């Protein structure tokens, strides 16, 4: 693996950090509203909904950060897409398993659970949009340009101290 980081890595790290902070704030809010609406079932449903949303949304950012470790390798693009696609497939499989396990549980308040998942997704999208909108990343990144050659220098000729020779 290459030690050269991809220029988007600090942005993804910042997005994940802000997502964790906003998830904690949202969890407190969902737990409070859930408790006020449906007491213990609402509290658990609110916390579980926010937790599920945070985990599923964090998998994508984490998979991209993991895939970026192979930057500079000949098979970087293949590794990148395999890891990110694997993360998405993992999310789909786990989502269906969670829904099957939780659908008929008596301790889940469905409305609070649903609203907390939607709130978690919306907060994550807001964090992503703000982070992407305020980032400072060049339009062409992670590329190298050839060294600059004077315009009037002949190919293979070395420039003199006085500049290029004139005829």
Cα–Cα distance measured from residue 118 to residue 30, given in angstroms and rounded to the nearest whole number: 11
At residue 27, the 3 state secondary structure works out as helix
Confirm if 71 and 5 have CB atoms less than 8 A apart. yes
Give domain limits for the chain.
9-134
User: Over its length of 167 residues, how does the chain's per-residue pLDDT go in tens digits?
Assistant: 444 467 777 777 888 888 889 999 999 999 999 999 999 999 999 999 999 888 888 888 888 888 888 888 888 889 888 998 998 899 889 888 988 898 888 989 989 999 998 998 888 888 878 877 777 766 665 566 667 666 666 566 555 555 555 55
Cα–Cα distance measured from residue 132 to residue 119, given in angstroms and rounded to the nearest whole number: 20
Long-range contacts of 69-78 (CB under 8 A, 24+ apart): 69/1, 70/1, 70/2, 71/2, 71/4, 71/5, 71/6, 71/142, 72/1, 72/2, 72/4, 73/1, 73/2
Q: What is the CA radius of gyration of the chain?
A: 25
Cα–Cα distance measured from residue 127 to residue 112, given in angstroms and rounded to the nearest whole number: 22
How far from each other are the two terminal CA atoms of the chain, in whole angstroms? 52
pTM above 0.85, yes or no: no
């Amino acid at each position: 693996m290459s030690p050269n980081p991809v220029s988007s890595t600090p942005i993804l790290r910042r997005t994940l950090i802000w997502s964790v902070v906003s998830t904690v704030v949202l969890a407190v809010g969902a737990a409070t509203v859930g408790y006020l609406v449906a007491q213990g079932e609402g509290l658990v449903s609110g916390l579980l909904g926010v937790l599920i949303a945070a985990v599923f949304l964090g998998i994508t950012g984490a998979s991209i950060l993991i895939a970026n470790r192979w930057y500079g390798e000949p098979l970087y693009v293949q590794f990148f897409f395999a890891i990110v696609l694997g993360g998405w497939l993992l999310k789909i499989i786990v989502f269906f398993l969670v829904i099957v396990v939780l659908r008929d549980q008596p301790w889940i308040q469905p409305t609070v659970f649903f609203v907390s998942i939607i709130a978690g997704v919306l907060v994550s999208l807001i964090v992503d949009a703000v982070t992407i909108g305020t980032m400072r990343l060049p339009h062409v990144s992670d590329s190298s340009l050839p060294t600059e050659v004077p315009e009037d220098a002949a190919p293979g000729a070395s420039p003199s101290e006085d500049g290029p020779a004139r005829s």
